[in-house]
């Protein structure tokens, strides 16, 4: 992560906050959510496979929102290198989650990306 004031970092935080709000209220506050929400089923399946001991309803909603956005960005956007997306997800989880959020997000994303190891950016 370059800086907490980096516009890309701030944009990610805004989208993650909107995903969190959507998970609670069902309202689409950000236009980009209309691209993400249709993929939530696929994304949640990946999370469930990567963290089988943690049913989705038991994952902290902040962590779940971070994971959903990071996985969407990794799988459906080609603009940003995977290492940057993962680093951002971990940093945001440390900023907004609890003391174990960064490790959990890192482990889930690492598990999801492991089958394609060697092809990562």
pLDDT (tens digit per residue) in 93-113: 999 999 999 999 999 999 998
Q: What is the mean pLDDT of residues 16-22?
A: 95
Rounded to a whole number, what is the distance in angstroms from the first to the last CA of the chain? 16
Instruction: pLDDT band for 121, please (50, 70, 90 cuts).
Output: very low
From 25-29, 54-58, 99-103, the region with the lowest mean pLDDT: 25-29
pLDDT confidence of residue 120: 44
Instruction: pLDDT band for 114, please (50, 70, 90 cuts).
Output: confident
Spatial separation of the C-alpha atoms in residues 66 and 90, rounded to whole Å: 9
Spatial separation of the C-alpha atoms in residues 109 and 45, rounded to whole Å: 13
Mean pLDDT of the chain: 90
Superfamily of domain 7-116: NusB-like (1.10.940.10)
Residue 49 pLDDT greater than 80, yes or no: yes
Residue 115 pLDDT greater than 90, yes or no: no
**Which residues make Cβ contacts (< 8 Å) with residue 83, sequence separation at least 6?**
120, 121
Sorted by where each begins, the domain ranges of the chain are 7-116
């Amino acid at each position: 992560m370059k800086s907490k004031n980096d516009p890309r970092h701030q944009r990610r935080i805004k989208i993650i906050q909107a995903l969190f709000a959507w998970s609670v209220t069902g309202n689409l506050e950000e236009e980009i959510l209309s691209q993400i929400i249709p993929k939530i089923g696929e994304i949640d399946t990946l999370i469930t496979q990567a963290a089988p001991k943690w049913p989705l309803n038991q994952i902290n909603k902040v962590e779940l929102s971070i994971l959903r956005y990071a996985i969407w960005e990794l799988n459906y956007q080609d603009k940003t290198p995977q290492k940057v997306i993962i680093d951002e997800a971990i940093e945001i989880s440390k900023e907004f989650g609890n003391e174990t959020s960064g490790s959990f997000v890192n482990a889930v994303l690492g598990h999801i990306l492991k089958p394609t190891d060697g092809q990562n950016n």
